[in-house]
Structure 1
């Protein structure tokens, strides 16, 4: 048997994930060679500062600031720098030179994925990105390969560990959002600037990637409706508990019917949602992630596990690296991405969903009738109403109510109709204020 030459691996970035990948490559080189059929030689690690402290020690002779030369001498380039630039130019250079690429860069793929996939297809290279969504959870390969012959109808995903930790702590410990965020920051789950997580930007990038794969259509991140968790209150979380729900930040990707044309379209959105406690996603605790897939033939599938962490994400990177190396040994061109269905992307207004609306209303005759009329006028059917009388406020005579809290659950309706109903309620003289509006998913 003819031995295949060693494959040269270049690593870009030596942060928490990159350092772990370097350590795994060096520690398990013999075992990896047996799996692949060729040795994997780490020829260098590109960093900004070779003297910077690192969580995992990397031999100094492997460190370099010359990423350009390192890339041009590699068979496989592993990009773990993050961000758009210079990562984008480095990956373009790697692909055009004929190297396969492994990346965990969700931001880059969500914004410039089609450009990079096109280059890879032109030169017969392969772009691997299992670690870009869900950390250690294997979700990219199942969508790209295992379910490629099926029809995926819907994806519900908890794809950001920071926000799941915060909301889970609010649910199980009774913390405020600010208190839960402080704990998450102390434990290292949240960055010093948590904006990308708590405002939903990170989850939206992952939703764009999942939707593009699931529906074989390029879904740009700008087309993903995004809401973060900063408006979620402890009172909302407690009310959800009483009604048999938990609050989760969900990425929802689904097939829809355009209400105007009747044609099929797709939608991707990220927002807080009420999830029934009976749904598997309700049991996803801490900083874990989970992706729930609904497919026509395969039925319901659940992928669950650690969504972040240096070692966990490094596991997904190493899986891609072994796949890339095996392709080199076996030969043949890379497999192009199946993103050519060109299904229309529909706006959030076309989505059909349910709402749970909490209102503070004045204590006046006919209030419920007037509110019911507003729902009816906008074509929204009410499923359930619960009412609690508020304690009398100062200046109100003893025994008199100062108003009531209404929690109204709706049947399924278009987002446009539901939003119009909420706007009418906010303008109504019988409504003191709209306390909260949450979509209900997973029923």
Structure 2
């Protein structure tokens, strides 16, 4: 007996949904973007710009649009993989997303991925064991099921992902380009299985660049165009308009196509919630709906999510940052103190020992004949200078400074022991 489907049951409700991304060029900009109050000047890109729609049980909706139109971003929000920036996205039931490699772990085998992804979709170990052989058979992977997924082709990954989702009990099925790769036989089998989803009352979102597949699968089509819904209606009305657009677009020259794309992408960068409010106000005016600016601005769907930090949070972060910097300074001072305590002469030695030494010599605090220029830290040879006085001989000097004649002659490279008044001698001192 066929299951009676309540076609009026809403399974997905999107109201003015937007998705904004930060276009951070430098690593520092990425850090700033985390702190919303410090992220001024970082450009933004609105992948989705205020989209609204409803989906019902047993409905198959085709999502079409050129590359970069926001199709995948929109469906990732439906699946709950990413949150909207503003607006409201509600789903009533469980979701399963079928995309090339979606949720698969490359290093795990196909069999291990079946178990992992099935567990993530809410299946029990017992249910997985009961369905394992059927999933493997549907995937048509054969012996490759026990090979790492990283060795699979894109078509094989698509087969595995689709086979896992076929045997899940999700209420909302999202098929994102999963049937655009692989052999025609598997694609036909998958499309037939998708029709069974519809008969079971599941809501299906079907994304494909193939107009033939969309026409065969979906009775309703949403045309996404650079972040907005351009058309939403029966497939036999939307698809002809979309195909006509593609025909005109492809007839443009390369420069004309680039100019067209740039104009719309610049609009995505310049988009704001204020512009969304203006757009909705104009739409209400055309539909003769009473909604003044104040009501629109107070509407929850047009308010920024509560992501900005409160002043209390900011103060706490500043205090923590200051504390960390203070601790770093204290650590440096502590390390320096320990070095000075270990070698008290290091400060004098490192900065200007010669100047201090000269001052001590002038003041008579150091005997130039007996003291070295620098404090002896290691067992290296140091030297002093001695000025030969009137009528002094090398023997007298040797006895006076308590250094052997040979040592003095060696230090001064002297061939004889003759010295003359005023001559400067180097006096080696060994420690």
TM value normalised by structure 2: 0.24
More helix by share: 2
TM value normalised by structure 1: 0.24
More strand by share: 1
Q: Of the two, which has the highest radius of gyration? A: 2
